[in-house]
């Protein structure tokens, strides 16, 4: 009788021990930037029958909600084309899903976490970016969720090395252009990051940071610029009335920036041959907008395109 009564207790202790060793799902990562929130979700594909039986309804609900939709509300988007399939992460096999939404919708995301009872899963959200600090109190007081904050530049360096190591569904994520100055011979080729150091890493977010990386653990920020993705989106909102990043890019794809910018040929009548400047090169971004007639002739799409060219030319 003594042995019989003790066996279930030992069994329960073993199960609890296994649970503690096993990293509990769900696995999320958050990058809360100045313009966009990027969320990565690991969808396990090797769940055992025992795990499925133990899985609580809220966890099933979260997995179904995230993987069966490509849009969440009016602004959340899952980038299906970026999904990484059949990865091994911490000994588990599954898929990585990438979701994004505007940072100004973060309060709604935290409220959704509360409504879906995230806190009952006893999970800690790993988060990086400035918003990991800005919204930490809201996560705790509204969502009853704890954030494990990680430095965004540390994550950037390690993330690039990780993505290179796993590839993109069998294809390399890193590439370079051979013969970039020759339109006919220029071609895109895979780049091997096995021994890349030292390297310059340019991170284009709301603003831009440029890092000198000497090893995976040794780097420094050497410079940066406040002109970045946030500048493009903000100016597009002002100039065109667009309300989403996707809308801004779509408008830019249909525009003609040469109606907005003053080109070398507008000043010289052609190329500036002495210094090898072609006539189509931009001499002055938005330079044509000094003219009332030209202001009246441009479209919102032209303005969006010129804004995109202005920002990318200055990075």
Q: Mind listing the pLDDT tens digit for each residue in 160-191?
A: 888 888 877 777 888 889 998 888 899 999 88
- pLDDT higher than threshold 80 for residue 17: no
Report if residue 287 sits inside a domain: yes
In this structure, the answer to whether residues 26 and 101 fall within a common structural domain is yes
Report if residue 7 sits inside a domain: no
In this structure, the answer to whether residues 193 and 288 fall within a common structural domain is no
Quote the pLDDT of residue 8.
47
- Give this prediction's pTM: 0.78
In this structure, the answer to whether residues 206 and 85 fall within a common structural domain is no
Average pLDDT over every residue of 42-56: 78
Report if residue 8 sits inside a domain: no
- pLDDT higher than threshold 50 for residue 1: no
| Residue 70 to residue 80: CA distance in whole angstroms | 7
The number of distinct structural domains making up the chain is 3
More confident residue, 159 or 301: 301
In this structure, the answer to whether residues 37 and 97 fall within a common structural domain is yes
DSSP-derived letter for residue 139 is H
CB-based contacts of 216-220 (< 8 A; 24+ apart in sequence): 216/157, 216/158, 216/161, 219/153, 219/157
Residue for token pair 């150091």:
197
Quote the pLDDT of residue 23.
65
First to last CA, the chain: 76
In this structure, the answer to whether residues 193 and 135 fall within a common structural domain is no
CA dihedral angle for residue 31, residue 34, residue 36, residue 42, rounded to 10 degrees = 0
Looking at 167, 193, 225, the residue that finishes a domain is 225
What's the length of the chain? 315
Quote the pLDDT of residue 175.
87
Active site residue 152: yes
In this structure, the answer to whether residues 139 and 195 fall within a common structural domain is no
Confirm if 294 and 312 have CB atoms less than 8 A apart: no
In this structure, the answer to whether residues 133 and 249 fall within a common structural domain is no
Average pLDDT over every residue of 192-212: 91
Looking at 225, 256, 284, the residue that finishes a domain is 225
Q: Which of 72-86, 211-225, 243-257 has the lowest mean pLDDT?
A: 72-86
Average pLDDT over every residue of 73-83: 87
Report if residue 49 sits inside a domain: yes
Report if residue 85 sits inside a domain: yes
- pLDDT higher than threshold 60 for residue 18: no
In this structure, the answer to whether residues 31 and 131 fall within a common structural domain is yes
Highest mean pLDDT among 3-12, 20-29, 192-201, 217-226: 217-226
Report if residue 9 sits inside a domain: no
Quote the pLDDT of residue 2.
41
In this structure, the answer to whether residues 57 and 129 fall within a common structural domain is yes
CATH of the domain at 54: 3.30.420.510
In this structure, the answer to whether residues 44 and 135 fall within a common structural domain is yes
Residue 3, phi-psi category: left (phi > 0), alpha (psi -120 to 50), beta (remainder): alpha
CATH of the domain at 285: 3.30.420.40
Report if residue 283 sits inside a domain: yes
In this structure, the answer to whether residues 296 and 265 fall within a common structural domain is yes
Quote the pLDDT of residue 6.
46
| Per annotation, catalytic residue among 152, 178, 250, 296 | 152
* Alpha helices in the chain, H assignment, sequence order: 2-21, 49-54, 57-67, 106-115, 131-134, 136-141, 152-166, 229-240, 245-254, 264-268, 292-297, 300-313
Report if residue 14 sits inside a domain: no
In this structure, the answer to whether residues 233 and 221 fall within a common structural domain is no
Q: What is the mean pLDDT of the chain?
A: 86
Quote the pLDDT of residue 71.
83
Looking at 192, 225, 258, the residue that finishes a domain is 225
Confirm if 94 and 44 have CB atoms less than 8 A apart: yes
Q: What residues make up the domain containing 167?
A: 155-225
């Amino acid at each position: 009788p003594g042995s019989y009564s003790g066996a279930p207790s030992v069994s329960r202790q073993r199960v609890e021990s296994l649970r503690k060793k096993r990293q509990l799902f769900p696995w999320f990562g958050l990058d809360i930037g100045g313009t966009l929130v990027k969320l990565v979700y690991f969808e396990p594909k090797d769940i055992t029958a025992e795990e499925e039986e133990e899985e609580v309804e809220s966890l099933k609900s979260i997995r179904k909600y995230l993987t069966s939709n490509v849009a969440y509300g009016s602004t959340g988007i899952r980038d299906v084309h970026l999904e990484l399939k059949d990865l091994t992460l911490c000994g588990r096999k599954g898929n990585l899903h990438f979701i994004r939404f505007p940072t100004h919708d973060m309060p709604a995301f935290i409220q959704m976490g509360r409504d879906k009872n995230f806190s009952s899963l006893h999970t800690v959200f790993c988060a990086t970016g400035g918003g990991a600090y800005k919204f930490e109190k809201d996560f705790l007081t509204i969502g009853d969720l704890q954030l494990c904050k990680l430095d965004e530049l540390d994550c950037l360096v390690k993330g690039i090395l990780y993505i290179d190591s796993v590839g993109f569904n069998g294809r390399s994520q890193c590439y370079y252009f051979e013969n970039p100055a020759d339109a006919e011979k220029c071609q895109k080729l895979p780049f091997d990051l096995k021994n890349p150091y030292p390297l310059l890493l340019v991170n284009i977010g709301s603003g831009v940071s440029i890092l000198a990386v000497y090893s995976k653990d040794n780097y420094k920020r050497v410079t940066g610029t406040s002109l970045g993705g946030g500048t493009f989106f903000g100016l597009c909102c002002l100039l065109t009335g667009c309300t989403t990043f996707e809308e801004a890019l779509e408008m830019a794809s249909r525009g003609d920036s040469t109606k907005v910018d003053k080109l070398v040929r507008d000043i010289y009548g052609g190329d500036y041959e002495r210094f090898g400047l072609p006539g189509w090169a931009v001499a002055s971004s938005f330079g044509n907008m000094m003219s009332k007639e030209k202001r009246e002739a441009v479209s919102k799409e032209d303005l969006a395109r010129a804004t995109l060219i202005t920002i990318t030319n200055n990075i």
